[in-house]
Amino acid sequence: MKKSTAIFASAAAAALLATGGATVAANASIAPEAPAKVQTVEAAPAQENVVSQNRISVDASAAAVAAAMDKCQGDKLPFVTVALVDRFGTLQALLRGDNAAEHTIEAAQQKAYTAAAFGAPTSELAKRINGNGPGIDDLPGTLFLAGGVPVKVNGVSIAGIGVGGAPDGMLDEACAAAGVAALAAAAK
């Protein structure tokens, strides 16, 4: 290192130390204010103002994705991912099979959300896409490929199971349907 460069580096380091020391000294003289006391108010909203949400329990979610994965593995499809989401697309359970590529995770979630949001299997929804300008397939977070099946309670879609990674979407959908069937069987 040249002598002039070394002198410059030493001067820069000294300036940083001096600046940092001055900042610490300045901050030390500022006394923190006591936090303001926050009042809490108990509210009892009217029942008509509160929305309840049906969700699949953690145990049922785990059983459903396991049943879907078991079906895929039985069909010699160990490279898929199974996702269960609520009707808003929030992930509740995910099971990634052996050798499942990373893209299968997003595909499974999007298929599950699409089925849950529209209340129909994604294979049926895919038939509604006409390719003439903007359509439902342009909605963010959706995937209109076979492999997503809705979970319904009293005719209302509350969740979806999606499978991604099989060489044919109908194979994905058969696995997702096995997950829904496991939920139905457990409800009896």
Sequence ranges of the domains in the chain: 1-32, 58-187
Residue 126 has a pLDDT of 93
Q: What is the pLDDT of residues 2-32, one digit of tens each?
A: 555 544 445 444 444 455 555 555 555 566 6
User: For residues 14 and 60, which has the higher predicted lDDT (pLDDT)?
Assistant: 60
User: For residues 79 and 134, which has the higher predicted lDDT (pLDDT)?
Assistant: 79
Mean pLDDT of 117-139: 89
Mean pLDDT of 54-76: 96
Q: What is 58-187's CATH topology?
A: Beta-Lactamase (3.30.450)
- Distance (Å, whole) CA 136 – CA 143: 10
Instruction: State both tokens at 135.
Output: 């359509």
Angle of helix 169-187 versus helix 58-74 axis, rounded to 10: 140
Residue 50 has a pLDDT of 81
Core vs surface per residue 41-66: b (16+ CB within 10 A) or e:
eeeeeeeeeeeeeeebeeebbebbbb
Mean pLDDT of 157-175: 97
Backbone angles phi, psi at 158, to 5 degrees: -115, -10
